[in-house]
Amino acid sequence: MSSFPQIGALAAQARGILNGLGVSASRLEGHRAATSPLTGEVLAHVADMGAEEVEGAIARAHAAFLEWRTVPAPRRGELVRLFGEELRAAKADLAALVTIEAGKIASEGAGEVQEMIDICDFATGLSRQLHGLTIATERPDHRMMETWHPIGVVGVISAFNFPVAVWSWNAALAFVCGDAVVWKPSEKTPLTALAVDAIFRRAAARFGSVPEGLSTLVLGAREAGEALVDDAGVPVVSATGSTAMGRVVAPRVAARFGRAILELGGNNAAIVCPSADLDLTVRAVAFAAMGTAGQRCTTLRRLIVHADIYDALLPRLKKAYGSVRVGDPRAAETLVGPLIDGEAFAAMQVALEAARAAGGVVTGGERVAADALPDAFYVRPALVEMPAQTDTVAAETFAPILYVLRYSDFAEAVHLNNEVPQGLASSVFTTNLREAELFLSAAGSDCGIANVNIGPSGAEIGGAFGGEKETGGGREAGSDCWKAYMRRATNTINYGTRLPLAQGVTFDV
């Protein structure tokens, strides 16, 4: 039996966690309500910052940067190592707060905090590896090299669905790179941001000499985000959210020649080939499509199934969809928690209606527990068999809807994978080497993430995370993503007594 939360107890629990982590009561007073998607109840109130306050925070962050950039990088890594330790100590509390404020099931809440710990470990190691190249020069008695320097204040705009981890991918790297960070979290998740800010302060206190303003949290609505986007004192803006948001952010950052790292919408597909291991495929599809109630950028939204196995796979998927537990995300048996709010529910219904009108056959998708919880939006995940890749299928709806399409030729399946405007994550399920390699090749998936025999979601932090086309082109987390948080200087040194010019130019005065 599914269980649903009772209205009334969450505010005390959230406040208890915030208090325990050291968030001062004064930060929980303001005019804007912070609510829980579990019941719709108000957890606390917070104060929004206006543009002027954000500008002040950016100025203080810049002053902190001027100090921090001269601290040796491995020493900066020590701060991030301590932050990782503090996160380990606070993991259970922060995870519980993520569940209460963002609606994630308990294991995903814990997983999100683990992702923060992992990036701290990664960044700590990286703090001794911010390498530049030495490059052969064409001139005698010369040496040419690259040096990577801290760049300045990094603005981070994050979304509700990863309310703390996305900030940490950016911040952990930025701190070891010698930058200061100003963070504008989603208006829907201010409390988890306050908690993280308090945990960071614990690490800073242990470190001892962190300049004030190195890490600043600015709570607020659009005005606060715009102040961050438009301020020339913020050379890097890392923004995660919808493609619509990215369309606003990208040109404004570009207009002042800032650097934008964009992680926007995804419309992620998986191709299921005739040779696929169906047991594994069903499990992978279930997590990727229904996990996080379909509210990951990497959520599986389109399943492209070969006609020969369609009738074997679909009943198994329908069974998984029919039996998945929807309910209180704190309960051990629950796999699907609530949608973030009523807007998300309305958008889901609009998409399902459009799919039906285009000939789609919908299983699931209905709201549950609406009588007991009128301000919370629990839905059964929807499986939608579609006759074609219609406009609705090509759009990202941030809800648990999986559109299923049929294919007969592998090239057609790859074409369908790539036909949508977004380009974040993709997968192929096959045991055929040619199909797997073709999918990963230059002529295969056009996405930033292309997987074989695992779903498109749940990426590890060690790799570069992000995607192409309307996903925005940014990369965050592992690999060499750190380079986006630094400026590169090319240095040429003449240790001789002559002055040979490049390209053989002579200029004798």
- Smallest distance, ligand UN1 to C-beta of residue 294, A: 11
The H or E element that residue 206 is part of is helix 190-207
DSSP state letters, 368-437: ESTTT-TT-BEE--EEEE-SS--HHHHS--SSSEEEEEEESSHHHHHHHHHSSSEESEEEEE-S-HHHHH
Asked if 418 and 442 touch (Cβ cutoff 8 Å), the reply is no
Per CB under 6 A, the list member of 35, 36, 216, 298 interacting with ligand UN1 is 298
Residue 491, φ and ψ in degrees, nearest 5? -115, 125
Burial of 223 (0-12, 13-18, 19+ CB in 10 A): middle
Per CB under 6 A, the list member of 162, 175, 378, 410 interacting with ligand UN1 is 162
Up-side HSE of residue 214: CA atoms within 13 Å toward CB?
27
Q: Which stretch binds ligand UN1 (CB under 6 A): 179-187, 210-218, 305-313, 455-463?
A: 455-463
- Smallest distance, ligand UN1 to C-beta of residue 91, A: 17
Per CB under 6 A, the list member of 76, 188, 296, 330 interacting with ligand UN1 is 296
- Smallest distance, ligand UN1 to C-beta of residue 295, A: 8
Q: Select which of 263, 396, 470, 476 is catalytic.
A: 263
Handedness of CA 451, 456, 460, 466 (dihedral sign): positive
Report how many residues bind ligand UN1 under the rule CB under 6 A. Answer: 11
182: Cβ–Cβ under 8 A, 6 or more apart, which residues? 54, 57, 58, 61, 153, 154, 155, 156, 216, 218, 228, 234
Q: Clarify whether 273 is annotated catalytic.
A: no
Residues 365-394 that bind ligand UN1 (CB under 6 A): none
- Smallest distance, ligand UN1 to C-beta of residue 115, A: 6
- Other beta carbons within 10 angstroms of residue 486's beta carbon come to 22
- Smallest distance, ligand UN1 to C-beta of residue 130, A: 24
- Smallest distance, ligand UN1 to C-beta of residue 348, A: 17
Q: Which stretch binds ligand UN1 (CB under 6 A): 122-130, 374-382, 426-434, 454-462?
A: 454-462
Binding mask 92-131 for ligand UN1 (x = CB under 6 A): -----------------------x----------------
Q: Select which of 297, 435, 476, 481 is catalytic.
A: 297
Binding mask 229-258 for ligand UN1 (x = CB under 6 A): -----------x------------------
Nearest to 432 by CA among 452, 448, 412: 452
Q: Clarify whether 297 is annotated catalytic.
A: yes
- Between 236 and 459, name the residue whose CB sits nearer to ligand UN1: 459
Beta bridge partners of 165: none
Asked if 299 and 332 touch (Cβ cutoff 8 Å), the reply is no
- Between 281 and 299, name the residue whose CB sits nearer to ligand UN1: 299
- Between 216 and 295, name the residue whose CB sits nearer to ligand UN1: 295
Identify how many contiguous H helices and E strands the chain contains and give both numbers: 14, 23
Per CB under 6 A, the list member of 87, 193, 297, 402 interacting with ligand UN1 is 297
Residues that bind ligand UN1 (CB under 6 A): 115, 161-162, 166, 240, 296-298, 457-459
Catalytic machinery residues:
263, 297
